[in-house]
Chain A
Amino acid sequence: MEKPTKLIVNCATGERTVVELTDAEIAERDALQAQYEAEEQARLAAEAQLEADKASAIAKLAALGLTEAEALALAGN
């Protein structure tokens, strides 16, 4: 299987080269990708929870007699 490549530009000489990633660099890249995906999933879950909490709060406020506009204003929408 063909290895991924990186593009290197040497600022001292201006030389540009295309170099295959080493096994260590591939492993580092895979780890970075896994870390990012985990962080992204956590962020999306937190966003979804916040929206669910807001909807629940609005419903409870409406049950107490607030209008929808008043409840949305309290929820920051």
Chain B
Amino acid sequence: MTDIYFIAQTEVETATATDIEFTSIPADYDELILILSARSTKSSTTDNIALTFNSSAAAYYGLILYQENSGTPASANASNVSSSNFLYATGDTAAANCFSTTTVRISGYTTTAAKPFTIESATTNNSSSVLQAFGNGVWNNSSTINSLKLDPTTGDFMQYSKATLYGVLSGSDGSTTGSSS
């Protein structure tokens, strides 16, 4: 039995925001799930978003990505880099009101082991010029993850971009452990 609990949500209510950051993430869960709906000010159909944990720009990240960009498949990998920029926002030249959708699942975020995470991300642009990607990464650091920052690499988050963080509890004996914070 697995239960998913809401932790926090935020939305860009004014014109733009350069970053969205979740701080003081409780260490009460087994996994974290981040859901992001984003549009960037970048003058393009897509913009990358850098994900960093604990405001650490040190080179602790290893990444593998598979993507398809308007019909063209591609792959990429990176090791010992300072953030995971394999998340995507719909850019400002895409059709109006189109936002990307992204899910990041982070396992064992309170353990001292390296933290693996998976990414699914897709931009939208009605029927053309869209990018979809899935990949995985690892944050090779022993610290508990207590903050999480999202930063479009070229533009800023546009109004109505929204990020939501959830915690996952998994019962070791088939039942749910703990309780909602």
Contact = CB atoms under 8 A, between A and B. Distances in A.
Given A9-B9, A11-B7, A21-B18, A4 B156 contact: yes
A7 B165 CA distance: 14
A5 B18 contact: yes
B21 A4 contact: no
A16 B153 contact: no
A51 to B, nearest CB: 11
A6 B52 CA distance: 14
Contacts of A21: 18-19
Chain B interface, DSSP helix/strand/loop, else mixed: strand
A28 interface: yes
B16 to A, nearest CB: 8
A7 B19 contact: yes
B18 A8 contact: no
Interface string A1-28: 0001111111111101010010000001
A14 B48 contact: no
A56 interface: no
Nearest to B9: A9
A52 interface: no
A49 interface: no
Interface stretch (B22-30, B105-113, B114-122): B22-30
Nearest to B19: A6
Interface stretch (A30-38, A58-66, A67-75): A30-38
Given A13-B24, A28-B57, A37 B17 contact: no
Nearest to A28: B57
A32 B83 contact: yes
Contacts of A4: 18, 156
Interface string B25-65: 11000000000000000000000101000000100000000
Interface string B80-95: 0011010000000000
B20 interface: yes
14 contacts: A4-B156, A6-B17, A9-B8, A9-B10, A11-B24, A13-B24, A21-B19, A28-B57, A32-B50, A32-B83, A32-B85, A32-B153, A33-B153, A33-B154
